């Protein structure tokens, strides 16, 4: 089986599982507070934190 055939089969299986079980989140609505928080977060300037700062802050080794 080629990589493309494998990917197509994987996609087909995923679609059939969704068809059978359905989407558990279908029809659900977001709370206004969540939408508001996400909008604020998306409008906030994104900054990258260097790996060294994360290691120092959380003690990750």
Confidence (pLDDT) at 23: 81
Which residue ranges of the chain lie beneath pLDDT 50?
none
For the chain, state the CA radius of gyration.
21
Confidence (pLDDT) at 16: 93
Confidence (pLDDT) at 36: 97
The reply to whether the predicted model has a pTM over 0.75 is: no
Q: pLDDT tens digits, residue range 30-43?
A: 999 999 999 999 99
Q: How many domains does the chain have?
A: 1
Structural domain for 22, as ranges? 3-58
Confidence (pLDDT) at 18: 87
The SS3 assignment for 4 reads helix
Residue carrying structure tokens 């679609």:
15
Locate all alpha helices (DSSP H) within the chain, ordered by sequence.
3-21, 32-43, 51-58
């Amino acid at each position: 089986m080629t990589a493309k055939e494998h990917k197509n089969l994987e996609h087909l299986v995923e679609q059939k599982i969704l068809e059978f079980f359905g989407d558990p989140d279908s029809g659900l609505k977001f709370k206004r507070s969540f939408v508001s928080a996400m909008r604020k977060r998306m409008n906030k300037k994104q900054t990258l934190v260097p790996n060294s700062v994360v290691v120092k802050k959380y003690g990750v080794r």
